[in-house]
């Protein structure tokens, strides 16, 4: 078998391989890419071991929380790109867009029944986590989940890291070993049995592939039960578009990232989170390409653990070091935390000090209380906040610095922290194209104290939780262009 770090692989039931199965099934749930994908690579290795062909199944349910035309269209564009690639390379790929709730999972079960085993994506939150926990028990074949999310495999941590500092310590110790076992660029090239799989007609008629049923269109999208008022945005959900964005960032903004990342007017962050979220590009590629831009005399031998301190580990260009801390430490701490925390989306998963202080300040008077509808409609008395909310509604994103302020104000304007949490999750996951991600929960729960420490002096409503105001934001960052764009 291929040399994939065993800490990436989770066997989710005790079934034996069905030797008579027609194929190995790779169910592409969230890391929606054919390249640099450990799960696909693992499926290919199994197919080669059993000398079977590989069926790649990618689908989209129409029955999931926070379903919108925005998210659907982004995924659909990526699936259409996969269909084109599969046609060109003769891959056995089945792209399915569900029209009626339940069809997608029924089709998956049918495909699984005829397989020798199932390999799919390990993912610690949202519907993928639930599916990976419940489906394996129903199937007659082995069900493997493989972690292709980040550099440090989820199996490497033994418990939930409660701060970025703790996780960074592990990351610094393990980085080199993990980075030097990279995912294959194109695992499908390694598949031995490339025979095209003939699927039973009763299945392909009952559950027609998206291209055959002509579903890759905005007209079709309008016919299904998703929030149509949350419209597609001006971002293309393909791997090609994600790679273009990455190249642009590397070329023009990476080197000054440490200086410009907090400046909303400059728009100098990578803006890669939508493509990272849907797995269109891998974190490995982003890190690898960033490291290639270190100065010529830089080498991996300079990677000496710094006891969890950020500065000095990657060294080289300060922009690269700052960026890698976000894309590795801050991105992955959320994955590892959720992996070890079944109630990752509940108030009770906050650290004890945060629960205590927020509860103690529950009865504090709030100057303004806004309803969910007022917040969603950007109807508050705060022009910066309204601008951030408008950006979220229109573009499906908020600049990171303002995203922090956006969250902190919601805590201030709701009757209690639990209501704030409900609204934050709802607004973020409904409108943000990168929502429903482990980082959604990192960011939202950070507002309430996760991955942070207690701060003094104690303040009304926030207690010891870190405090932010629009006035301090106005003083700290330039917002002229931002307010011109989203002020109305
Ligand atoms: C209230 C709140 C909600 C958030 N919701 C989400 C969300 O739904 N999805 C999401 O991906 N991120 C979320 N974040 C984290 C952060 O805002 C975004 O990851 C970042 O703004 C994405 O923009 P970028 O790709 O240009 O980031 P860059 O600055 O270019 O960073 C590169 C990558 O590093 C990771 N990253 C950067 N900053 C953070 C961070 N603070 N925490 C975790 N990972 C980070 C992301 O994967 C990002 O794409 C949230 C933060 C807050 C405060």
Q: What is the pLDDT of residues 315-347, one digit of tens each?
A: 999 999 999 999 999 999 999 999 999 999 999
- What pLDDT is stored for residue 478 in this prediction? 86
Residue owning tokens 């908020």: 398
Q: Do 320 and 379 belong together in one domain?
A: no
The answer to whether position 95 is within a domain reads: yes
Q: Do 1 and 144 belong together in one domain?
A: yes
Domain holding 244: CATH number?
A: 1.25.40.80
Q: Predicted confidence band at 477 (pLDDT cuts at 50, 70, 90)?
A: confident
Q: Do 383 and 427 belong together in one domain?
A: yes
- What pLDDT is stored for residue 330 in this prediction? 98
Each residue of 241-287: pLDDT tens digit? 999 999 999 999 999 999 999 998 898 999 999 999 999 999 999 99
Residues in the chain: 488
Instruction: State whether residue 434 is helix, strand or coil.
Output: coil
Ligand 1 atom closest to Cα of residue 444? 1
Q: Do 254 and 368 belong together in one domain?
A: no
Q: Do 252 and 370 belong together in one domain?
A: no
Question: Of the candidates 90, 118, 148, which is a domain's last residue?
Answer: 148
The answer to whether position 168 is within a domain reads: no
Q: Exposed, middle or buried, 301 (CB in 10 Å: 0-12/13-18/19+)?
A: exposed
Residue 395 Cβ inside 6 Å of ligand 1? The answer reads no
Task: Please give the structure tokens belonging to residue 319.
Answer: 């922009």
- What pLDDT is stored for residue 353 in this prediction? 98
Q: Do 136 and 244 belong together in one domain?
A: no
The answer to whether position 20 is within a domain reads: yes
Residue 29 Cβ inside 6 Å of ligand 1? The answer reads no
- What pLDDT is stored for residue 40 in this prediction? 98
d(CA 275, CA 226): 21
Instruction: Answer whether 149's CB lies under 8 Å from 31's CB.
Output: yes
Q: Do 357 and 282 belong together in one domain?
A: no
Question: Of the candidates 339, 368, 389, which is a domain's last residue?
Answer: 339
- Please report the sign of the dihedral spanned by the C-alpha atoms of residue 128, residue 132, residue 135, residue 140: positive
Task: Please give the structure tokens belonging to residue 299.
Answer: 């080498």
Q: What is the distance of C-alpha 436 from the center of its chain?
A: 7
- What pLDDT is stored for residue 14 in this prediction? 98
Residue 396 Cβ inside 6 Å of ligand 1? The answer reads no
Instruction: State whether residue 366 is helix, strand or coil.
Output: coil
Q: Which residues pair with 145 in a beta bridge?
A: 10, 120
Ligand 1 atom closest to Cα of residue 271? 26
Q: Give a three-class secondary structure readout of 111-164.
A: HHHCEEEEEEECCCCHHHHHHHHHHHHHCCCCEEEECCCCCCCHHHCCCCCCCH
- Whether the pTM exceeds 0.85: the reply is yes
Number of domains within the chain:
3
d(CA 420, CA 445): 10
Q: Do 333 and 352 belong together in one domain?
A: no
Residue 1 reports pLDDT greater than 80 = no
Residue 2 reports pLDDT greater than 80 = no
Question: Of the candidates 148, 163, 198, which is a domain's last residue?
Answer: 148
d(CA 109, CA 255): 48
Cα-to-centroid distance, 296 and ligand 1 (Å): 29
Q: Predicted confidence band at 4 (pLDDT cuts at 50, 70, 90)?
A: confident
Phi first, then psi, for residue 57 (nearest 5°) are -115, 120
The answer to whether position 398 is within a domain reads: yes
Residue 425 Cβ inside 6 Å of ligand 1? The answer reads no
Residue 352 reports pLDDT greater than 70 = yes
d(CA 431, CA 68): 8
Q: Do 84 and 119 belong together in one domain?
A: yes
Q: Do 440 and 367 belong together in one domain?
A: yes
The answer to whether position 127 is within a domain reads: yes
d(CA 4, CA 20): 26
Domain holding 383: CATH number?
A: 1.10.579.10
Dihedral through CA 184, CA 40, CA 5, CA 275, nearest 10? 80
Residue 269 Cβ inside 6 Å of ligand 1? The answer reads yes
Single out the residue of 130, 126, 186, 181 nearest to residue 156, CA to CA: 181
Give, using CA atoms, the residue closest to atom 17 of ligand 1. 400
The answer to whether position 155 is within a domain reads: no
Q: Predicted confidence band at 3 (pLDDT cuts at 50, 70, 90)?
A: confident
Q: Predicted confidence band at 469 (pLDDT cuts at 50, 70, 90)?
A: confident
d(CA 215, CA 388): 34
Q: Which domain holds residue 394?
A: 347-486
Q: Do 29 and 110 belong together in one domain?
A: yes
The answer to whether position 214 is within a domain reads: no
Q: What is the CA radius of gyration of the chain?
A: 23
Q: Which of 270, 328, 439 to mutate to test the pocket of ligand 1 (most atoms within 8 A of CB)?
A: 439
Single out the residue of 404, 413, 416, 422 nearest to residue 466, CA to CA: 404
Q: Do 28 and 3 belong together in one domain?
A: yes
The answer to whether position 22 is within a domain reads: yes
């Amino acid at each position: 078998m291929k040399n994939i770090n065993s800490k990436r692989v989770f066997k989710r039931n005790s079934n034996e391989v069905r030797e008579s199965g027609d194929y190995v099934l790779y169910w592409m749930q969230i890391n929606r890419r054919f390249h640099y994908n450990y799960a696909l690579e693992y499926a290919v290795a199994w197919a080669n071991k059993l000398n079977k062909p590989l069926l790649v199944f990618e689908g989209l349910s129409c029955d999931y929380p926070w379903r919108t035309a925005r998210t659907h269209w982004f995924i659909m564009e990526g699936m259409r790109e996969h269909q084109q690639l599969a046609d060109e390379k003769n891959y056995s790929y089945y792209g399915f867009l569900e029209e009626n709730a339940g069809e997608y999972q029924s089709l998956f079960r049918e495909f699984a029944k005829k397989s020798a085993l199932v390999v799919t994506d390990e993912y610690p939150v949202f519907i993928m986590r639930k599916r990976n926990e419940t489906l394996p028990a129903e199937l007659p074949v082995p069900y493997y989940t493989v972690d292709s999310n980040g550099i440090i495999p989820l199996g490497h941590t033994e418990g939930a890291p409660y701060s970025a500092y703790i996780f960074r310590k592990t990351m610094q110790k393990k980085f080199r070993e993990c980075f030097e076992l990279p995912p294959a660029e194109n695992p499908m090239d390694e598949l031995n049995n490339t025979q095209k799989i003939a699927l039973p007609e009763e299945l392909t008629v009952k559950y027609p592939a998206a291209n055959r049923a002509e579903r890759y269109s905005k007209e079709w999208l309008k016919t299904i039960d998703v929030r149509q008022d949350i419209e597609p945005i001006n971002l293309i959900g393909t791997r090609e578009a994600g790679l273009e964005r990455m190249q642009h960032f590397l070329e023009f903004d990476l080197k000054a990232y440490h200086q410009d990342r907090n400046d909303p007017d400059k728009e100098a962050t990578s803006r890669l989170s939508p493509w990272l979220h849907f797995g269109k590009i891998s974190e490995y590629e982003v890190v690898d390409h960033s490291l290639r831009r270190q100065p010529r005399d830089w080498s991996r031998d300079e990677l000496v653990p710094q006891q969890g301190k950020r500065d000095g580990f990657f060294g080289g260009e300060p922009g690269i070091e700052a960026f890698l801390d976000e894309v590795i430490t801050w991105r992955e701490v959320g994955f590892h935390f959720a992996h070890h925390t079944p109630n990752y989306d509940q108030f009770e998963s906050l650290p004890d000090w945060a629960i205590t202080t927020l509860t103690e300040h529950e009865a504090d008077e709030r100057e303004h209380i806004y309803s969910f509808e007022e917040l969603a409609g950007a109807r508050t008395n705060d022009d910066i906040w309204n601008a951030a909310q408008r950006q979220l509604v229109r573009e499906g994103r908020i600049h990171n610095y303002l995203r922090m302020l956006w969250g902190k104000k919601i805590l201030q304007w709701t009757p209690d922290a639990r209501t704030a949490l409900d609204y934050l999750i709802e607004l973020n996951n409904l409108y943000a194209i990168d929502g429903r991600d482990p980082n959604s929960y990192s960011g939202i729960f950070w507002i309430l104290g996760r991955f942070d420490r207690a701060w003094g002096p104690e303040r009304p409503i926030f207690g010891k939780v870190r405090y932010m105001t629009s006035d301090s934001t106005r003083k700290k960052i330039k917002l002229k262009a931002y307010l011109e764009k989203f002020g109305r």
